[in-house]
């Protein structure tokens, strides 16, 4: 009896020692990460919020109408949407066949070519875009929609190649052979066996690509501005030196909207390990 | 025979479009810029553009400042993320679940929104100071706001990099099989021995990947230093954008870009080597 | 109801020849096992029959018609793979029905056939389940049903039971044999497990290094191995290197007689069950010392050290009272002489009365 209670107490102690750190970490993370995000949310729906009130003293949607009817946003919003969709679709068209080749075919230099996509991460974005801008300037691509698409496409390559490649490699070849064996054509095997099996990973890659492009700032800033403005680009002046904080807050929430979709899939995305697969871990 | 030769060409046809993008828009511009920065006004080989950079006080200050900010951010980042990842690896509790969820949240927040959120939270009379004031008005008088200070850049960089770093470190820690740790416990190793002798060496690769990618991202970043950092000194990213767009001096911006490349290329090479050595080792 | 023949079938991967010219005839309804160690080319041979590998040269005939130019999806073969290859995103029913749907069969027809197939493998009512809800043995039975439902001319099985535990393996083996007999299908079964091959096959093709070493009925494969490799690979065998001088081979205390006269190096192969245990002082016997006794349930295996012969494996009935380090006599009643470039020669010696169990040694 005594030994039992002792070991119970021992276990409790150990639990407290371990979860003590967890609780501390959780509280720190909530203050450091959740509260700043919450601040944006509160500002988005605040009409009056003065120090030292912890929450706004007056609430309402007044600023939403004002912000959403701004001329620059009216120009930037469709730009952002059309850009993100175009870049995502183009990226799929370019990358998915390539990732299939990387996963399923044998050819000389395969490893080298696959690894070369890592270099999209190996250069600092802004510096790279300055170098690209100098070339684009000569080609007349600076300040054009096409120019921004090309630069943003570059950003999507690593995720869109590596995640689907890992997914295609994960499909047992014998699953495809078994379908061939019962008489399915190669196309049908791809459509009915391979594709459904890689769908979660490819879907994750597409979603990430869309959201990342929607946020993309540097390419749009350096190549697109001032002709092709996107939401993140028009936010800079609204955040810096802007006496009315609500503008920034509301635009932030607009920009955040697609992420909410991504958040809904976050669990599945992370469980599959697709995110880290895209960085070579 | 015809069928066979098209079959062997097919993979190359499939990978050509993305490869063209990588080579045409990364290697080529980087190399071209590199060559151009080494060319003088008269078209001959010359260091004059680098000398110009080195003789400009604000450029050099900016380079040093960028290094300082990057290293301090990385130290803070690992100080937070490694213990957290370690805890998440070995705990299955609800607390751990929520801690992980919260830690990954910034992944889904657009960069510019996070800058805005941090400004509103950390600036003087922001939410943080308000909360402190509500707890103790006296204490709030000592509140030091990191906004428009170097600390602002560091806090912002850490904030943005936490999810990725935790994910990479956690993935590395998950690859350390429990059996390895249990067998070490079995032969009587203490917690510290297990950590230093087994866990740390086995997660070196993941830590390297996290270090390299975060270094490159922070060293060349723009949004956070521009919005959260001081007006002077500036980081290289801010300087570069200003030089290119506000001062309209693309050639000087190019020199600055090539210098950031040179720094990041070393780190980038380390990253590519780390990833490729493991991949070929696996095959 | 079909025959299969392989003619000079060869497969080269770069510099490596995985399969050397194989010739094989499989009769209608026959159950043929291809047996060999891993890397012997048995799976490659099977995959060529299925159409997953293209032969470098040679021909494959099913019912006398060449199928080499036919793609895998058009061949009248069906395969059961080593790993359970049920498509994880389809229900059991849809897995089995997949091939039938491709053939454009009517719904009711598909329904009937799928249910029959499920019945055949003893898993009726499993149609609605997902593959990950099944155990390994169940998954492999469904895989078999999926292959059989198409009524292929040839059923191919690539080590289908090697991922299952020993007990289940034996049960499924018996079930497979029963089903194969019932539907009277020609089957090729690839395995590295000799027990599996010996218990399943009508005939066994033993392969090594890309060649068929012996093709025969199981009992002959065991009793009359055609090559040294087969002798060593199948069952337990004592292989003793020796010198033959004329018609005699002097091996330790015994002089073995050979019907042929040659001089040179030979290998004498003796099955443990062909060695009788006799008294230590027996004249016509090797004297040896029991090194180790391994209890195998209903009998015991002895390792006996015989001077200038080596350590021999011998079986002993449990009733025989033996201890380690005990001295006994060994008398071989049958052996085979292998010599490079010559057919093996089987020799029977005069039977000697084995040690009486009642006699205490």
pLDDT digits (tens, 9 = 90+) for B95-133: 998 999 899 899 889 888 999 999 999 998 889 999 999
* Average pLDDT value for residue range C191-204: 92
**Structure confidence at residue A58 as a pLDDT band (50, 70, 90):** confident
- pLDDT score of B2: 42
> Pick from A174, A182, A193: which is nearest to C150 by CB?
A182
Does residue A272 carry a pLDDT above 80?
no
Separation CA B58–CA A121 (nearest Å): 28
Question: A35 CA to chain B: closest CA distance, Å?
Answer: 7
Q: With contacts defined as CB-CB under 8 Å, which chain C residues touch A197?
A: 87-89
- Whether B19 and chain A come into contact, CB under 8 Å, resolves to yes
Question: A244 CA to chain B: closest CA distance, Å?
Answer: 12
- pLDDT score of C282: 78
CB contact under 8 A, C150 and A175: no
- pLDDT score of B150: 94
Question: Please, which chains are in contact with B (at least 3 CB pairs closer than 8 A)?
Answer: A
Quick: pLDDT tens for A209-257.
998 899 888 888 889 878 888 998 888 888 877 788 888 899 899 888 8
* Average pLDDT value for residue range C214-239: 92
Tell me whether strands C299-306 and C57-62 are parallel, antiparallel or unpaired. unpaired
For chain C, state the CA radius of gyration: 25
Choose the weakest-confidence range: A72-86, B142-156, C153-167, C317-331.
Answer: C317-331
Question: C113 CA to chain A: closest CA distance, Å?
Answer: 15
Quick: pLDDT tens for C70-93.
888 889 999 998 887 888 888 999
**Structure confidence at residue B228 as a pLDDT band (50, 70, 90):** very high
Question: B210 CA to chain A: closest CA distance, Å?
Answer: 9
Mutation target for A interface from B5, B12, B14: give the one with most A CBs within 10 A.
B14
Does residue C62 carry a pLDDT above 90?
yes
The superfamily in CATH containing domain B58-280 is MetI-like (1.10.3720.10)
CB contact under 8 A, C83 and A174: yes
How many CA atoms lie less than 13 Å away from C57 in the CB half-sphere?
Answer: 4
State the ipTM, two decimals: 0.86
Question: A265 CA to chain C: closest CA distance, Å?
Answer: 19
Q: Which domains does chain C have, with CATH numbers?
A: 4-232 (3.40.50.300), 236-348 (2.40.50.140)
Q: With contacts defined as CB-CB under 8 Å, which chain A residues touch B30?
A: 123, 128, 131
- pLDDT score of C361: 42
Does residue C142 carry a pLDDT above 60?
yes
- pLDDT score of C1: 64
- A83 near A151, Cβ under 8 Å? no
User: Where exactly are the structural domains of chain A?
Assistant: 2-60, 67-280
CB contact under 8 A, B15 and A33: no
Greater pLDDT, A269 or C309: C309
**Structure confidence at residue C360 as a pLDDT band (50, 70, 90):** very low
Residues C48/C50/C52/C58 CA torsion (nearest 10 deg): 30
Q: With contacts defined as CB-CB under 8 Å, which chain A residues touch B219?
A: 124
- Nearest residue of A to residue B118 by CA position? A36
Mutation target for A interface from C82, C89, C131, C139: give the one with most A CBs within 10 A.
C89
- pLDDT score of C225: 93
- pLDDT score of C304: 93
User: Where exactly are the structural domains of chain B?
Assistant: 58-280
Greater pLDDT, B137 or C283: B137
- Whether B20 and chain A come into contact, CB under 8 Å, resolves to no
Choose the weakest-confidence range: B141-145, C8-12, C114-118, C206-210.
Answer: B141-145
**Structure confidence at residue C352 as a pLDDT band (50, 70, 90):** low
Q: Residues 70 to 109 of B: which have CB under 8 A from any A CB? A: 83-84, 87, 90-91, 93, 95-96, 98-99, 102-106, 108-109
Percentage of the residues of chain A whose pLDDT score is greater than 90: 30
Is it true that the peptide bond before C122 is cis, omega within 30 degrees of 0?
Answer: no
Please state the three-class secondary structure of chain C as a single string.
CCCEEEEEEEEEECCEEEEEEEEEEECCCCEEEEECCCCCCHHHHHHHHHCCCCCCEEEEEECCEECCCCCHHHCCEEEECCCCCCCCCCCHHHHHHHHHHHCCCCHHHHHHHHHHHHHHCCCCCCCCCCHHHCCHHHHHHHHHHHHHCCCCCEEEEECCCCCCCHHHHHHHHHHHHHHHHHHCCEEEEEECCHHHHHHHCCEEEEEECCEEEEEECHHHHHHCCCCHHHHHHCCCCEEEEEEEEEEEEEECCEEEEEEEEEEEEEEEEECHHHEEEECCCCCCCEEEEEEEEEECCCEEEEEEEECCCEEEEEEEECCCCCCCCCEEEEEECEEEEECCCCCCEEEECCCCCCCCCCCCC
Tokens of A225: 């501005």
CB contact under 8 A, B22 and A127: no
Does residue B280 carry a pLDDT above 60?
no
Find, among A113, C361, C29, A228, the residue nearest to B17 by Cα. Answer: A113
**Structure confidence at residue C202 as a pLDDT band (50, 70, 90):** very high
CB contact under 8 A, A33 and B14: no
Percentage of the residues of chain C whose pLDDT score is greater than 70: 97
- pLDDT score of C158: 93
Does residue C19 carry a pLDDT above 50?
yes
Does residue A3 carry a pLDDT above 60?
no
- pLDDT score of C356: 57
**Structure confidence at residue C355 as a pLDDT band (50, 70, 90):** low
Quick: pLDDT tens for A91-149.
999 999 999 999 988 888 888 898 888 777 777 888 888 889 888 988 999 999 999 99
- C50 near C75, Cβ under 8 Å? yes
Tokens of B9: 């060409």
Between the alpha carbon of residue A225 and those of residues A230, B13, B83, the distances in Å are 9, 34, 42
- Nearest residue of B to residue A242 by CA position? B116
- Whether A195 and chain C come into contact, CB under 8 Å, resolves to no
Separation CA C183–CA A152 (nearest Å): 61
**Structure confidence at residue A52 as a pLDDT band (50, 70, 90):** confident
Does residue C359 carry a pLDDT above 60?
no
* Average pLDDT value for residue range C324-342: 89
Stated pTM of the model: 0.76
- Nearest residue of A to residue B259 by CA position? A127
Scanning the structure block, which residue is given the tokens 């019912």?
Answer: C63
Given CATH 3.30.365.10, say whether it is the number of domain A67-280.
no
Question: Please, which chains are in contact with C (at least 3 CB pairs closer than 8 A)?
Answer: A
- Nearest residue of A to residue C96 by CA position? A182
- Nearest residue of C to residue A196 by CA position? C89
CB contact under 8 A, A134 and B254: yes
Separation CA A279–CA B170 (nearest Å): 13
- pLDDT score of A1: 45
Q: With contacts defined as CB-CB under 8 Å, which chain B residues touch A266?
A: 104, 108
> Residue B210 contacts by C-beta under 8 Å, 6 or more apart in sequence?
B78, B81, B164, B165, B168, B169
Question: A101 CA to chain C: closest CA distance, Å?
Answer: 19
Residues of C with CB under 8 A from a CB of A: 50-52, 71-74, 77-79, 81-83, 85, 87-89, 98-99, 102-103, 143, 146-147, 150
- Whether B127 and chain A come into contact, CB under 8 Å, resolves to yes
- pLDDT score of B84: 94
CB contact under 8 A, B18 and A275: no
Tokens of C277: 């245990």
- pLDDT score of A93: 95
- pLDDT score of C177: 92
CB contact under 8 A, A270 and B264: no
**Structure confidence at residue B1 as a pLDDT band (50, 70, 90):** very low
Quick: pLDDT tens for C216-225.
999 999 999 9
Whether there are 3 or more C-beta pairs closer than 8 Å between C and B is no
Whether there are 3 or more C-beta pairs closer than 8 Å between B and A is yes
CB contact under 8 A, B268 and A123: yes
């Amino acid at each position: 009896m005594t030994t039992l209670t002792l070991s119970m107490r021992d276990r409790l102690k150990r639990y407290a020692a371990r979860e003590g750190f967890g609780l501390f970490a959780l509280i720190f993370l909530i203050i450091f990460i959740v509260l700043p995000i919450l601040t944006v949310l509160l500002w988005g729906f605040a009409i009056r919020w003065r120090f030292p009130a912890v929450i706004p003293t007056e609430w309402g949607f007044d600023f939403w109408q004002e912000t959403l009817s701004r001329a620059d946003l009216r120009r930037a919003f469709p730009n952002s949407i059309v850009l993100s969709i175009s870049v995502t679709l183009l990226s799929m068209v370019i990358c998915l066949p390539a990732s299939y080749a990387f996963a399923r075919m044998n050819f000389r230099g395969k490893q080298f070519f696959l690894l070369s996509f890592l270099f999209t991460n190996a250069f600092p974005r802004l510096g790279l875009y300055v170098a690209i801008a100098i070339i684009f300037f000569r080609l007349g691509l600076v300040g054009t929609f096409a120019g921004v698409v090309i630069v943003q496409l570059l950003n999507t390559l690593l995720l869109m190649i590596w995640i689907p490649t890992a997914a295609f490699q994960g499909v047992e070849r014998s699953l495809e052979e078994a379908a061939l064996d019962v008489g399915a054509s190669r196309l049908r095997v791809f459509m009915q066996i391979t594709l459904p099996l890689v769908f979660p990973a490819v879907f994750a890659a597409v979603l990430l690509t869309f959201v990342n492009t929607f946020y993309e700032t540097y390419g749009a800033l350096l190549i697109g501005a001032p002709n092709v403005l996107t939401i993140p680009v028009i936010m800079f002046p609204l955040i810096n030196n802007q006496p009315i904080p609500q503008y920034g807050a509301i635009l932030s929430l607009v920009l955040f909207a697609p992420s909410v979709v991504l958040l809904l899939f976050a669990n599945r995305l992370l469980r599959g390990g697709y995110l880290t697969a895209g960085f070579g871990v | 025979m015809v069928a066979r030769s098209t079959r062997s060409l097919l993979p190359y046809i499939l990978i050509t479009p993305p490869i063209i993008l990588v080579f045409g828009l990364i290697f080529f511009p980087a190399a071209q810029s590199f060559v151009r920065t080494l060319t003088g006004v008269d078209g001959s080989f010359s260091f004059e553009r680098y000398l110009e950079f080195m003789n400009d006080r604000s450029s050099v200050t900016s380079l040093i400042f960028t290094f300082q900010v990057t290293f301090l951010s990385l130290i803070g980042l690992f100080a937070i993320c490694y213990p957290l990842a370690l805890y998440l690896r070995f705990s299955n509790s609800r607390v751990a679940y929520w801690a992980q969820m919260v830690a990954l949240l910034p992944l889904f927040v657009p960069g510019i929104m996070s800058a805005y959120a941090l400004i509103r939270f950390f600036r003087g009379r922001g939410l943080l100071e308000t909360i402190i004031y509500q707890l103790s008005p006296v204490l709030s008088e000592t509140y030091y706001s990191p906004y428009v200070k170097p600390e602002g850049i560091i806090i912002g960089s850490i904030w943005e990099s936490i999810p990725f770093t935790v994910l990479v470190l956690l993935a590395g820690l998950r690859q350390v099989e429990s059996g390895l740790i249990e067998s070490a416990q079995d032969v009587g190793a203490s917690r510290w021995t297990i950590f230093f002798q087994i866990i740390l060496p086995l997660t070196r690769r993941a830590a390297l990947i996290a270090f390299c990618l975060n270094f490159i991202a922070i060293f060349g970043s723009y949004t956070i230093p521009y919005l959260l950092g001081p007006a002077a000194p500036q980081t290289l990213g801010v300087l570069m954008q200003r030089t290119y767009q506000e001062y309209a001096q693309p050639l000087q911006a190019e020199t600055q870009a090539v210098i950031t490349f040179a720094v990041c290329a070393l780190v980038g090479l380390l990253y590519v080597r780390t990833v490729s050595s493991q991949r070929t080792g696996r095959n | 109801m079909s025959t299969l023949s392989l003619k000079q079938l060869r497969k080269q991967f770069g510099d490596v020849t995985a399969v050397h010219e194989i010739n094989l005839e499989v009769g209608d309804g026959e159950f043929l096992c291809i047996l060999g160690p891993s890397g012997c080319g048995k799976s490659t041979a099977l995959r060529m029959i299925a159409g997953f590998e293209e032969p470098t040269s040679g021909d494959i005939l099913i019912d006398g018609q060449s199928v080499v130019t036919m793609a895998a999806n058009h061949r009248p073969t069906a395969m059961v793979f080593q790993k359970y290859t049920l498509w994880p995103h389809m229900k059991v029913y849809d897995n089995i029905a997949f091939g039938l749907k491709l053939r454009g069969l009517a719904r009711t027809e598909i329904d009937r056939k799928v249910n029959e197939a499920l019945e055949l493998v003893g898993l009726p009512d499993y149609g609605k389940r997902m593959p990950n809800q099944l155990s390994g043995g169940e998954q492999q039975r469904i895989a078999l049903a999926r292959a059989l439902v198409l009524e292929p001319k040839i059923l191919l099985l690539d080590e289908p039971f090697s991922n299952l535990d020993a007990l289940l393996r034996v049960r499924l083996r018996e079930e497979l044999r029963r089903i194969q007999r019932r539907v009277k299908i020609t089957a090729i079964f690839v395995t590295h497990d000799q027990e599996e091959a010996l218990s399943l096959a009508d005939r066994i093709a033993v392969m090594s290094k890309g060649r068929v070493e012996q093709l025969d009925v199981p009992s002959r494969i065991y009793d009359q191995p055609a090559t040294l490799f087969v002798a060593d690979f199948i069952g337990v065998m004592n292989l003793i290197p020796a010198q033959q001088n004329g018609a005699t081979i002097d091996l330790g205390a015994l002089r073995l007689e050979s019907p042929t006269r040659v001089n040179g190096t030979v290998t004498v192969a003796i099955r443990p069950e062909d060695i009788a245990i006799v008294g230590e002082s027996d004249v016509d016997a090797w004297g040896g010392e029991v090194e180790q006794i391994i209890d195998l349930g209903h009998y015991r295996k002895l390792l006996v050290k015989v001077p200038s012969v080596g350590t021999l494996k011998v079986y002993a009935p449990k009733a025989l009272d033996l201890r380690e380090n005990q001295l006994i006599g060994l008398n071989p009643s049958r052996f085979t002489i292998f010599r490079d470039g010559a057919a093996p020669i089987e020799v029977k010696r005069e039977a000697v009365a084995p040690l009486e169990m009642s006699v205490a040694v």
